[in-house]
Structure 1
Amino acid sequence: MEQEGRGKRSANQLQGAPVQDQAVRPVAAEQPRIVRSSTRSQVAEKEPSDAYRVVVRYENHAVRGLAEPQELGSIEQLLRNDPVYPLDSIRLKLLDSDVVEDVPTKDAKAVFFVKTFDGDLRHRALHFHEHAPVVPGLWVRVYFYDGEMIEGIISNTRDFVLESGFFLRPTDPNGNNALVYVLKGGLKDFHVLGMRNVPKSPN
């Protein structure tokens, strides 16, 4: 997830074979931000328990901060690609400054909703595991230009084809990503692996 990308292409190229309240100031997308890591205790002091921990990852840098759920919607609402506001930018309280800014997402690789800012570099992603919670939708595998690959569930609607990005819920239950907003311009490839349906209760 920390690797640099090698390039981007337009969203249209992905519609091919398999599936076609504090002062706020904007952030210029072209100005790289140096994000310094915080200790676990320092980060914990800044984090409201209900806030989303968000990492906006660009090709050569990342922006980390906290987002208010009421400004975005619930995880389930986001997974339906139905955020409260369009995700062309996301309002974050930045970890390194406590300033609230609107962070643009247009040129980002993806927006990661993470369980912890520390992560676990030793964790190896699981694929095709049997004990993941069943979330209805399309089971997909996405490949980024920097070599990262993620499997997850997306809403079975036309949004992932027509919109510039889509929400994906990773299927690895032990991974650090709770939800990912994938920008299609950062994708190298996209595969539909199948359907995920909630099992019917026995009669």
Structure 2
Amino acid sequence: VIADLKAIFFVKDFAGNVKHKEVKQFDPSKPAPGRKIRVVFKDGEVMVGITQGYQPERPGFFLLPADGQSNNERCFVVASATSEVTFL
């Protein structure tokens, strides 16, 4: 059931890079193709990225991370798992 999930992460590599520190800001030299958004999950995790389909009444939305070096290519965020969603 989707309500039991936090998000679905689409990753570049299953191993990831444990040394990488996620950047929570946008590269000003690269245009963002969508709306900039900050998501706080109920467990305290914060993600910053862009979205083209966030609407509060929908069960979820896709987010592309602001950090181009992130192991996450994109993420489907389950709306019920969030405590705060803010446009930047």
In which range does the TM-score fall when normalised by the shorter chain? 0.7 to 0.9
Q: Which residue of 2 aligns with 1:160?
A: 55
TM-score by length of 1: 0.40
> CA RMSD of the aligned region, Å?
1.8
| C-alpha distance in 2 between matches for 1:184 and 1:124 | 25
1:140 to 26, 37, 53: 37
Unaligned runs of 5+ in 1: 1-103, 194-203
Unaligned runs of 5+ in 2: none
The answer on 1:116 being equivalent to 2:22 is no
The answer on 1:181 being equivalent to 2:76 is yes
Aligned positions, number: 88
Higher helix share: 1
Superposed displacement of residue 171, structure 1: 1.2
CA contact (8 A) 1:114 1:176 kept: yes
Which one has a bigger Cα radius of gyration?
A: 1
Cα 1:139–1:129 shift into 2, 3 Å? closer
Q: Tell me the percent identity.
A: 34
Higher strand share: 2
The letter for the 1-side match of 2:23 is: L
Cα 1:119–1:131 shift into 2, 3 Å? farther
